[in-house]
């Protein structure tokens, strides 16, 4: 997905490609047992929240972008924890790298719903 994030001069002037991986932790026992969509996390909502942040906000640091995504995903009541990995594809560094990225994990502080 495209976003305008970066700390270097000009990085926020044009959209750059980013890759986002999300690993959601929740109580999936009911969904696994009953094969019931109503008993799992609405993944389209998870993706919608992440996409909104990448497209509409700007951050200097990948860490800040990942943290914002984690905060939003944890607002979904069934989500107990989330691991967010953000990779900037073709980063502006003096090396031939496919990507540079960070991962962070956050958990709900108020416990399970």
> pLDDT value at position 42?
93
Is the CB of residue 20 less than 8 Å from the CB of residue 65?
Answer: no
Reported pTM: 0.89
Task: List the one residue out of 15, 28, 101 whose CA is nearest residue 66.
Answer: 101
Q: Give the largest CA-CA distance in the chain.
A: 52
The rounded distance, in Å, linking the Cα atoms of 80 and 97 is: 34
88 among known catalytic residues: yes
Please provide the DSSP assignment of 10-71 as one string: TTTTS-EEEEEEEEEE---HHHHHH--GGGS--HHHHHHHHHHHHHH---SSHHHHHHHHHH
- At the top level of CATH, the class of 2-107 is alpha beta
> pLDDT value at position 111?
57
> pLDDT value at position 19?
96
> pLDDT value at position 98?
87
Residues of the chain with pLDDT under 50: none
Q: Which of 9, 83, 88, 90 is an active site residue? A: 88
The rounded distance, in Å, linking the Cα atoms of 10 and 14 is: 8
Is the CB of residue 56 less than 8 Å from the CB of residue 34?
Answer: no
> pLDDT value at position 95?
85
């Amino acid at each position: 997905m495209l976003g305008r994030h970066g700390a270097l001069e000009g990085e926020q002037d044009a959209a750059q490609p980013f890759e986002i991986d999300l690993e959601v932790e929740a109580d999936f026992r009911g969904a696994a047992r009953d094969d019931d969509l109503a008993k799992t996390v609405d993944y389209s909502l998870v993706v919608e929240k992440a996409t909104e942040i990448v497209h509409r906000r700007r951050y200097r640091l990948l860490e800040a972008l990942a943290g914002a995504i984690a905060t939003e995903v944890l607002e979904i009541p069934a989500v107990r924890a989330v691991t967010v990995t953000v990779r900037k594809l073709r980063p502006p560094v003096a090396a031939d790298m496919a990507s540079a990225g960070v991962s962070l994990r956050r958990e709900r502080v108020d416990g399970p719903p």
